[in-house]
Amino acid sequence: MAQIAVIERKCTGCGLCVNNCPFGAIDMVNGKPELNAACKVCGICVKNCPEKAILKLETKVKSVDKSKWNDILVYAEVSGGRLHPVAIELIGKAQEMCKSVPGFKVKAILVGDGVAPYAEELRHYGVSEIAVYDASELSYYRADAYAACVEDYIKYAKPSVVLVGATALGRSLAPRLSTRFHTGLTADCTTLILRDTTDLVQIRPAFGGNIMAQIVTLNTRPQFATVRYKVMSPAQRTEEAAGDILIRRIPKGVHESPVSCVSVVPVPPKKSISDAEVLVVGGRGLQKESDLDMIRELASLLGGDWAVTRPIVEKGWTTNERQIGLSGRTVRPRLIITFGVSGAIQFTAGMNASEHIVAINNDKTAPIFDVAHIGIVDDLYQVLPQLIEKLKEAQA
């Protein structure tokens, strides 16, 4: 682990370190530099200090015995009376990664009240062991209680990797678990690669989506990662059931929790663009809000749904629920058609796994054509009305 240190007796207070820091992580206090929480330990200040008054200190971290940590554990969330589909996607990805390390297996964990029947369903997805924590005290989500259950099983099974869906529950649970085990957590991963050394390469967009960061947890276990719904391919269900169901005793932390539920107000179910098989997307190329009517009409004619990019939401033309991308929804439809979408990485990271991608843009150098299967270089106001007309004629 590295940190930056300032040798005050050498420092002249020239301020070059403040000017050169790309993160604004250095403040001048009483004529001397002080690092704030924005420091990334990049070392630029060290290289540019003329007096050599700034040092980068490396602390050697004691490595864990990786041979004692094996297999991949998937947190299988139960939501709305069903297994959340992201759990099946994570199991599919875990099965793929297990091929890299001989002997690695996929395990799953269920936590809640009345979740035991879902363990039987998981046996049809190639899971070797399903741990079940089923109790009335777990009838609603309490971060400390659920974390205590998952922590208990992790200590028992010692998985090398723990995968959690990036749902509202998962985003709360995963960081609590990584903190309890003093290890790292990578959120919203778009790609996961398991090396034969059991190190997990976790790839996610960083710096506002401008780069793809590769993150590896070398010295601690387990390795935690969250993944959004619709990012990975789901596991295939088999007719034959396999795998053991392990009913676990509820740990003390659940009974001792000071948190209690006052009331439960169910959220009305909403249709999500993440579930659409066909999507028509409008981007920055749309000139006025009323142009979204054509996007909606084409989506309706195709029997699908409509969506937008971030600039459209920022204009106030629709809500974030219709947005695709890192700050919106991740989608994986069979067909997606984009109009006036440039294809910034913030957008493509949320839809590049779509089965068929058709892009219409008048800029032939637009990045969207790098991910599109079919690209049309033309004015969307020429193509979109013609598509609508042709579909109306075909239906008539």
Q: Whose CA is closest to 336, among 363, 360, 312?
A: 360
Q: 114, 157, 108, 107: which is closest to 135 by C-alpha? A: 114
Residue 98 CB-half CA count within 13 A: 21
pLDDT on residue 363: 96
Instruction: Annotate 73-112 with three-state secondary structure.
Output: EEECCEECCEECHHHHHHHHHHHHHHCCCCCCCEEEEEEE
Closest CA to 176 of 134, 129, 226, 116: 226
Structure confidence at residue 2 (pLDDT): 79
Number of other CB atoms surrounding residue 239 within 10 Å: 5
- Tell me the β-bridge partners of 129: 107, 244
Same fold, 2-58 and 66-255: no
Could you confirm whether domain 66-255 is CATH 3.40.50.620? yes
With contact defined as beta carbons under 8 Å apart, do 72 and 211 qualify? no
- The pLDDT of residue 61 is 64
Taking the alpha carbons at both ends of the chain, their separation in whole angstroms is 67
pLDDT at 264 over 90: no
Predicted model pTM: 0.83
CA distance 256 to 135: 14
User: What fold does the segment set 2-58 form as a domain?
Assistant: Alpha-Beta Plaits (3.30.70)
Q: Which residue has the tokens 């990334």?
A: 40
Handedness of CA 326, 331, 336, 339 (dihedral sign): negative
Percent of the chain with pLDDT over 90: 87
* pLDDT category of residue 375 using cuts at 50, 70 and 90: very high
Phi/psi of residue 136, nearest 5 degrees? -65, -25
**pLDDT(1) > 80:** no
47 contacts: CB under 8 Å, gap ≥ 6: none
pLDDT tens digit sequence for 100-116? 999 999 999 999 999 99
The percent of the chain in helix, strand and coil, each rounded to the nearest 5, is 30, 25, 45
CA distance 357 to 331: 12
- Average pLDDT value over all residues in the chain: 94
pLDDT digits (tens, 9 = 90+) for 113-124: 999 999 999 999
Give the pLDDT band of residue 356 (cuts 50, 70, 90). very high
pLDDT reading at 261 higher than 70: yes
Q: Tell me which residue of 110, 338, 93 sits closest to 229, measured CA to CA.
A: 93
Looking at residue 253, what is its pLDDT? 79
Is pLDDT above 90 for 37? no
The matching CATH number, chosen from 3.30.930.10, 1.10.340.30, 3.40.50.1220, 3.30.420.40, for 273-395 is 3.40.50.1220
In sequence order, what DSSP letters do the residues of 25-39 get, joined into one string? -EEEETTEEEE-TT-
Domain positions in the chain: 2-58, 66-255, 273-395
